Amino acid sequence: MSNIAEKVVIITGASSGIGEATALLLARQGAKVVLGARRSERLEQLVAQIRQQGGTAEFRSLDVSSREDVQAFVDFTLARFGRLDVLINNAGVMPLSPLAALKFAEWDRMIDVNIRGVLHGIGAALPVMQRQRSGHVINVASLGAYRVVPTAAVYCATKAAVVSISEGLRQEVGGDIRVTVVSPGVVESELAESISDSATRAMMEEFRQVSIPASAIAETIAFAIGQPPQVDVSELIVRPTASAY
């Protein structure tokens, strides 16, 4: 993947799941990765692992719901490496519940992380990429963006927003900057652990029996990055072969 080697890649939500798997894969392929998440102790361990394997990695504690924090994350990357080639907006939360449960705080959290977090990433990275006249924004959405199920109305709405934001961005910046939206189906991750509604949590544990590893999504992201500069892989849905959804 010569188109990945030496690229500077920042990844939000990098402490576990898709973010962690993507960091490991891209670093092995020669990218310089900068990792952000709230759990800085896990990021420190991941960076140490990457460096032990001969890769280049840095980390910074990051809350994507804070615009100032995301801007500082991008500024940190520029100070360390002098450029930014790929932004992977991966951070997300999924505290599912029926709308009638009226979990306003959880609704707000999904909007803040899943939508505002993506916009904060774009807002911080886009001016850099426009100055460079090159760059790649990769937004991780979900199969839920295309199929709504009970208990997931707000979550699905946030991920549908990510798809719309990605397409709007692609149309606006086409020519120099690539935009990709990756929508995973059920992936082995800690995402469902944020579900506080007991009935929904039990249902989701059963639903997630059919899943694919986070490394499958990492491979998908690497595929999109690895294409020639004039090729934009705009939208990818990746799901378990056995999944009915």
Q: Annotated active-site positions, please?
A: 155
Q: 3-state DSSP call for residue 11?
A: strand
Q: How many residues in the chain?
A: 245
List the structure tokens of 161: 């927003």
Q: 3-state SS of 168-212?
A: HHHHHHCCCEEEEEEEECCECCCHHHHCCCHHHHHHHHHHCCCCE
The upper half-sphere exposure of residue 54, i.e. CA atoms within 13 Å in the direction of its Cβ, equals 3
- Beta-bridge partner residues of 149: none
